[in-house]
């Protein structure tokens, strides 16, 4: 239920000189009563004689009527009212005649016949209409005047929903014994795989704080400190290059628990998410979300079947590994890919009518995604209708048809490339096709991805798939880091990762082993994370936790197009804030105090 339909659920107002009721409280049960309301002029209609003003506050809109006979001086004043003026008005609640009832408004059965009006603030003509807005305004303008944009009912609803989500999280975690503890914003680097934002120190010139990419290390210290169950609605900062729909500062629900296994953390989080859904979703939507326990899928299986580590399991079109069927093939494209360590993967898109132009567009899309090409085919008899059919033997075609469970007329798509690329490309095409063919049902899917590799190879070295503090399953064989599995889990909602975490390393020697794999020497580890290693030496309980991207979570709940629609004051893609003008140059004197000098070009990186 939205706030705007629920004025009765708002705390009663203590009457003062501005108002004694919310706009949204103007309901038939108050007929004949006097009411004083305050708010913004939402809409104004001047019918020569009668003047109608829709007045808006946070709870809704009420229609004010100014009548030349009955409103006295207030009618005269009302002539000059303009959109977004701020007023207080007193009048009598009158039932509307049947033909003027507005069924679109919760207060649409009554109106307020005004006898007293005070203008509290004149408004300049706003750069875009609050009332008339229909999405035509550019985002830059909306963000530049965000305080006006936020007046619009959809934005008010988004903020209210966000509040309800965090309240439900806090309530649930509080009941489960979690303590909300704040951790520093000015700190040292917390490696989550992004670049740090740095803040120069004035008192120690030449030294810098880093803004936290997450509270990871502090929440581990809080476990060492014996708090056992911690959470925080935490601001995190990651200085990443342009990536659509990301924010350089964003919010996580971050939590950590002691004396737990991965199963415990997942179970506690299923309870949490389920409780949040119960608290904030309409029943009809709630019914489309399954109750826990949520299914679990190992990482390797997710890649093999869905092409990525955030499987959208609401529909089929699963990938198949065709490599074994094609090891001996004469077709150079397939064979070459396999011989150089690659794979051939395919998917059966079902019986589809696709003209040549659409198939060409699919090839182009696959190439944009980094594939060298895309083979398409329709099953015809025992073989294929496809430009590629002539390169494959009859036995191979039969085998491929069977591996892809192809029936007459089914469209088959095949990519031969490195294991990662072939999965990624087909995984993305799978999502495109589901969208295009309308295969996504209302039923939602929540799934845990488990059994992650600890490390992935990158540029000849190793990189942590989660972060360097994730505990391996069993031990760590330094000679074979690629084989190590992590006690990590990500939660994926309709194909989007909404949270991820792990059991942590709680032994200093094991932590150093993980650092060794990542190429972090003991000296470097001591310099960067010495405080953590030291804490682990003073009695660290086994612990683990998770963090959710809160902005993304609320965006999904709301069905908003952009993450920016659920953040009060977001930044644009270049990292700038059109409202305040941040980031901005600073005075030379401020730089001098910091011992800094700006060199070279200024301005946004294109
Ligand atoms: N700190 C991790 C992150 O920000 C989450 C976790 O491991 O709890 O992704």
Query: 293 preceded by cis ω (within 30°)?
Result: yes
- Nearest CA owner, ligand 1 atom 7: 501
Strands 296-298 and 446-450: parallel
Minimal-distance CA residue to ligand 1 atom 4: 214
Determine which residue's CA is closest to atom 1 belonging to ligand 1: 216
Q: Which atom of ligand 1 is nearest to the CA of 254?
A: 8
Q: How remote is the CA of residue 547 from the centroid of ligand 1, in Å?
A: 5
CA of 263 to the centre of ligand 1 (A): 17
For residue 214, the ligand 1 atom closest to its alpha carbon is 4
Question: Around Cβ 465, how many Cβ atoms within 10 Å?
Answer: 19
Digit-coded pLDDT (tens) for 332-357: 999 999 999 999 999 999 999 899 99
What does the alpha-carbon distance between residue 76 and residue 99 come to, in Å, rounded to a whole number?
Answer: 27
Distance CA 347, CA 359 (A): 14
Per-residue pLDDT tens over the stretch 147-191: 999 999 999 999 999 999 999 999 999 999 999 999 999 999 877
129: number of Cβ within 10 Å: 17
339 CA from centroid of ligand 1 (Å): 38
Work out the average pLDDT over 563-581. 94
3-state secondary structure of 290: coil
Instruction: Tell me which DSSP letter residue 307 carries.
Output: S
**Banded pLDDT at 601 (limits 50, 70, 90):** low
Q: pTM for the whole thing?
A: 0.93
What is the pLDDT at residue 4? 46
Expressed in angstroms and rounded, the spacing between residue 156 Cα and the centre of ligand 1 is: 30
Helix axes 216-224, 522-537, angle to 10 degrees: 40
Residue 2 has pLDDT above 50, yes or no: no
Rounded-to-integer distance, Cα 26 and Cα 7, Å:
9
Q: Which of 500, 503, 506 to mutate to test the pocket of ligand 1 (most atoms within 8 A of CB)?
A: 500
Out of 189, 192, 193, 503, mutate this one to test ligand 1's pocket (max ligand atoms within 8 Å of CB): namely 192
Q: What lines the ligand 1 site, CB under 6 Å?
A: 192, 214, 216, 500-502, 545-547
Ligand 1 nearest atom to the CA of residue 502, by list position:
7
Q: Which of 283, 220, 282, 226 is nearest to 255 (CA)?
A: 220
Closest ligand 1 atom number to CA of residue 488: 7
Band (137; pLDDT cuts 50, 70, 90): confident
Give me ligand 1 centre to Cα 223, in Å.
15
Q: How far apart are CA 344 and CA 320, in angstroms?
A: 9
- For residue 207, pLDDT over 80 is answered with yes
Give the CA angle between residues 234, 239, 241 to the nearest 5°: 135
**Residue 425 pLDDT exceeds 80:** yes
Spatial distance between the Cα atoms of 214 and 220, rounded to a whole number of angstroms? 12
- Dihedral sign, CA of 585, 587, 591, 597? positive
List, for residues 364-390, the tens digit of each pLDDT value.
999 999 999 999 999 999 999 999 999
Q: What atom of ligand 1 comes closest to residue 256's alpha carbon?
A: 8
The residue to which tokens 């700190």 are assigned = 187
Ligand 1 pocket test, candidate residues 212, 213, 214, 222, most atoms within 8 A of CB: 214
Q: How far is the CA of 262 from the centre of ligand 1 (A)?
A: 14
Find the Cα–Cα–Cα–Cα dihedral 524, 526, 532, 537, rounded to 10°. 140
């Amino acid at each position: 239920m939205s706030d705007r339909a629920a004025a009765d659920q708002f705390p009663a107002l203590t009457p003062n000189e501005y108002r004694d009721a919310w706009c949204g409280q103007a309901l038939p049960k108050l007929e004949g009563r006097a009411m004083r309301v305050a708010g913004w002029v939402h809409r104004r209609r001047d019918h020569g004689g009668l003047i109608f003003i829709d007045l808006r506050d946070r709870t809704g809109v009420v229609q004010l009527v100014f009548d030349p006979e009955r409103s006295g001086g207030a009618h005269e004043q009302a002539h000059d009212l303009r959109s977004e003026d701020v007023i207080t008005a007193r009048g009598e609640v009158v039932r509307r005649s049947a033909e003027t009832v507005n069924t679109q408004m919760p207060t649409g059965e009554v109106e307020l016949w005004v006898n007293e009006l005070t203008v509290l603030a004149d408004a300049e003509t706003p750069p875009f209409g609050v009332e008339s807005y229909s999405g035509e305004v550019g985002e830059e303008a909306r963000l530049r005047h965000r305080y006006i944009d936020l007046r619009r009912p959809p934005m008010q609803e988004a903020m209210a929903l966000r509040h309800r989500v965090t309240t439900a999280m806090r309530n649930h975690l509080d009941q489960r014994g979690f303590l909300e503890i704040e951790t520093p914003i000015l700190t040292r680097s917390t490696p989550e795989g992004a670049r740090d934002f740095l803040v120069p120190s004035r008192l120690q010139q030449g030294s810098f704080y880093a803004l936290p990419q997450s509270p990871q290390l502090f929440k581990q210290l809080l476990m060492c400190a014996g708090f056992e169950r911690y959470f925080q609605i935490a601001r995190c900062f990651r200085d990443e290059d342009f990536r659509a729909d990301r924010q350089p500062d964003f919010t996580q629900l971050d939590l950590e628990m002691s004396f737990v296994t991965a199963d415990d953390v997942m179970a506690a989080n299923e309870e949490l998410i389920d409780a949040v859904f119960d608290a904030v979703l309409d029943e009809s939507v709630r019914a489309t979300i399954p109750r826990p326990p949520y299914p679990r899928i190992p990482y390797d299986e997710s890649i093999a079947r869905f092409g990525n580590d955030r499987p959208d399991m609401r529909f089929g079109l699963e990938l198949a590994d065709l490599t074994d069927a094609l090891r001996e093939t004469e077709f150079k494209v397939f064979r070459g890919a396999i011989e150089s360590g690659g794979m051939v993967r395919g998917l059966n898109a079902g019986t589809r009518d696709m003209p040549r132009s659409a198939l060409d567009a699919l090839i182009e899309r696959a190439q944009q995604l980094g594939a060298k090409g895309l083979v398409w085919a329709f099953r015809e008899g025992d073989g294929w209708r496809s430009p590629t059919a002539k390169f494959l033997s009859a036995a191979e075609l039969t085998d491929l048809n069977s591996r892809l469970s192809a029936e007459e007329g089914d469209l088959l798509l095949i990519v031969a490339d490195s294991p990662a690329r072939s999965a990624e490309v087909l995984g993305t095409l799978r999502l495109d096709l589901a969208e295009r063919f309308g295969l996504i049902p209302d039923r939602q899917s929540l799934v845990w991805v488990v059994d992650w590799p600890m490390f992935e190879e990158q540029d000849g070295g190793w990189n942590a798939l989660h972060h360097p503090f994730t505990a391996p399953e069993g031990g760590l064989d330094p000679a074979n880091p690629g084989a190590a599995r992590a006690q990590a889990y990500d939660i994926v909602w309709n194909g989007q990762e909404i949270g991820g975490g792990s059991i942590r390393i709680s032994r200093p020697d094991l932590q150093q082993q993980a650092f060794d794999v990542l190429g972090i020497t003991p000296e470097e580890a001591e310099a960067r994370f010495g405080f953590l290693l030291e804490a682990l030496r003073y009695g660290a309980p086994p612990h683990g936790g998770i963090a959710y991207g809160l902005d993304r979570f609320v965006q999904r709940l709301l069905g908003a197009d952009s993450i920016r629609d659920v953040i009060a004051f977001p930044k644009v893609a270049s990292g700038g804030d059109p409202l305040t003008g941040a980031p901005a140059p600073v005075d030379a004197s401020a730089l001098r105090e910091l011992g800094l000098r700006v060199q070279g070009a200024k301005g946004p990186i294109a």
